Amino acid sequence: MPAALPLFLDCDPGIDDAIALAYLCCQDDVDVVGIAASGGNVATAQVVENTRGWLSLAGRSDIPVHAGHSLPLAWRVLQMDPQAAETATGEALEYADLTHGESGRGYARLPAPSTPVSSVTAAQAWVDAAHAHPGQLLGVVIGPATNLALALEIDPELPSLFKRLFIMGGAFNYRGNTHPTTEWNVTFDPESTAQVLAAFDRTRQEERLAHLPVIAPIEATEAVEMTPERLATILDGSSAGGADDRWQSVLAQLAEALRFYFEFHETDGLGYLAHIHDPFVLACALSWARQDTTTSTGTELEGSDSDSREPSAPVPVRGSAGDLPWASTLWAPVDVELTGTLTRGETVADWLGRWGRPVNAEIIRAIDAPAFLDHLSATLMKGPPA
Ligand SMILES: [Ca+2]
């Protein structure tokens, strides 16, 4: 058994989130410290139930699920009425029910979870997880960054405790999937993504960071297309390979969720297929972490002199090209548009250095989608470790 890799996942299931959860259940070397269920694709309470439902179906009710804040940070800025925003139908907030179904599960039917939701909030759970695994924790955000931003308000030193952070979100110089230039996760809570990026933008922090965050925007992740043919191959392969009844029931419900997702994408003019952003980002993060041999400084923070600490990994300059598992990247300063009347929530990369700011992210630009999809298919066919 390989050494356990501590992971904290922040998600908003969501159909592609559900595939990511299934992929996670197939890993034999990951210590899932906790999962934050952040409101986004659907309201927080429903996201919590969906996360627990998928985990329960997969037999992983042992993983702590932490409920996110009921509202995005944006509500402070927009001065929304918290009571109004808390209505059962979530009318004061825009959710992605057209994309993921009213339940966020498409046509899937999930069991009622039997275990309680953790009493620890998602934001506090982020903090606790980072402190429990200083310098070792891999953080992966595949929903809005609301609760990570709240965690950073609790402890602004969190960035120096991560092994690395991977964020699915944004659209750079690209048509959006939500508003004309914006992606869903960032559009739902622009302030939270901006705050997270700002936390990694401080020179003081940067000197102590093992690595800067990775951002996986939709112009890259849309290349990861699930098709009915590939789904059928996964289902057939799992059955022929002797996967147990529990796992086959997980795949069967994922297929029902994907049937809705296929229909949405077809309605949106994209064909009878589905962009599955989230499992790619999780898989890329895990694969990167397995390969990374950098010694993080996180374990040295307490009681040591931060000024004398050398960075663990050199930070490439703006415009540097990089590689991640199944992906090519570019480094750049990144920020989020918060005030544009047409572009609020747009992610902006300063490719030419006009701002004079240091880089604060490695941005995925292209993905070897066929290679990743083959990996995903093989993983889901095989199922969880015995
Ligand atoms: Ca998601």
Q: Residues 156-185: pLDDT tens digits?
A: 999 999 999 999 999 999 999 999 999 999
How far does residue 369's CA lie from ligand 1's centre (Å)? Answer: 18
> What is the structure's pLDDT at 257?
98
Stretch 29-53: mean pLDDT: 95
- 7 pairs with which residues across the strands? 32, 138
pLDDT band at 206 (very low <50, low <70, confident <90, very high): low
Q: Does residue 209 have a pLDDT over 90? A: no
> What is the structure's pLDDT at 302?
39
How far does residue 355's CA lie from ligand 1's centre (Å)? Answer: 30
How far does residue 18's CA lie from ligand 1's centre (Å)? Answer: 8
How far does residue 63's CA lie from ligand 1's centre (Å)? Answer: 18
> What is the structure's pLDDT at 300?
41
pLDDT band at 99 (very low <50, low <70, confident <90, very high): confident
How far does residue 226's CA lie from ligand 1's centre (Å)? Answer: 15
Q: Does residue 312 have a pLDDT over 80? A: no
How far does residue 72's CA lie from ligand 1's centre (Å)? Answer: 15
How far does residue 103's CA lie from ligand 1's centre (Å)? Answer: 14
pTM for the model:
0.92
> What is the structure's pLDDT at 307?
39
Please enumerate in sequence order all residues whose Cβ is within 8 A of that of 110, keeping only pairs 6 or more positions apart, or say none: 50, 53, 54, 56, 57, 253
Question: CA-to-CA distance for 234 and 250, rounded, in angstroms?
Answer: 12
How far does residue 140's CA lie from ligand 1's centre (Å)? Answer: 11
Stretch 303-320: mean pLDDT: 61
The one-letter amino acid at 108? A
Tell me how far apart the terminal alpha carbons of the chain are, to the nearest angstrom: 12
Q: Does residue 299 have a pLDDT over 80? A: no
pLDDT band at 203 (very low <50, low <70, confident <90, very high): low
Domain tally, the chain: 1
How far does residue 281's CA lie from ligand 1's centre (Å)? Answer: 10
How far does residue 169's CA lie from ligand 1's centre (Å)? Answer: 9
> What is the structure's pLDDT at 315?
80
How far does residue 134's CA lie from ligand 1's centre (Å)? Answer: 26
Question: CA-to-CA distance for 26 and 257, rounded, in angstroms?
Answer: 19
Please enumerate in sequence order all residues whose Cβ is within 8 A of that of 50, keeping only pairs 6 or more positions apart, or say none: 13, 14, 17, 18, 37, 42, 103, 104, 105, 110
How far does residue 275's CA lie from ligand 1's centre (Å)? Answer: 11
Q: Does residue 134 have a pLDDT over 90? A: yes
CATH of the domain at 241: 3.90.245.10
Q: Which residues of 120-133 are buried (b: 16+ CB within 10 A; e: fewer)?
A: bbbbbbbbbbbeeb
Q: How does the average pLDDT of the chain come out, rounded?
A: 90
Q: Does residue 310 have a pLDDT over 50? A: no
DSSP tag of 339: S
Question: CA-to-CA distance for 140 and 35, rounded, in angstroms?
Answer: 10
Q: Which domain holds residue 350?
A: 5-382
Percent of the chain with pLDDT over 70: 89
How far does residue 44's CA lie from ligand 1's centre (Å)? Answer: 12
How far does residue 76's CA lie from ligand 1's centre (Å)? Answer: 23
How far does residue 133's CA lie from ligand 1's centre (Å)? Answer: 25
Nearest alpha-carbon partner for 146 in 215, 83, 103, 196: 196
Q: Does residue 89 have a pLDDT over 70? A: no
> What is the structure's pLDDT at 1?
54
Q: Are 372 and 283 in contact (CB under 8 A)?
A: yes
How far does residue 378's CA lie from ligand 1's centre (Å)? Answer: 22
> What is the structure's pLDDT at 386?
85
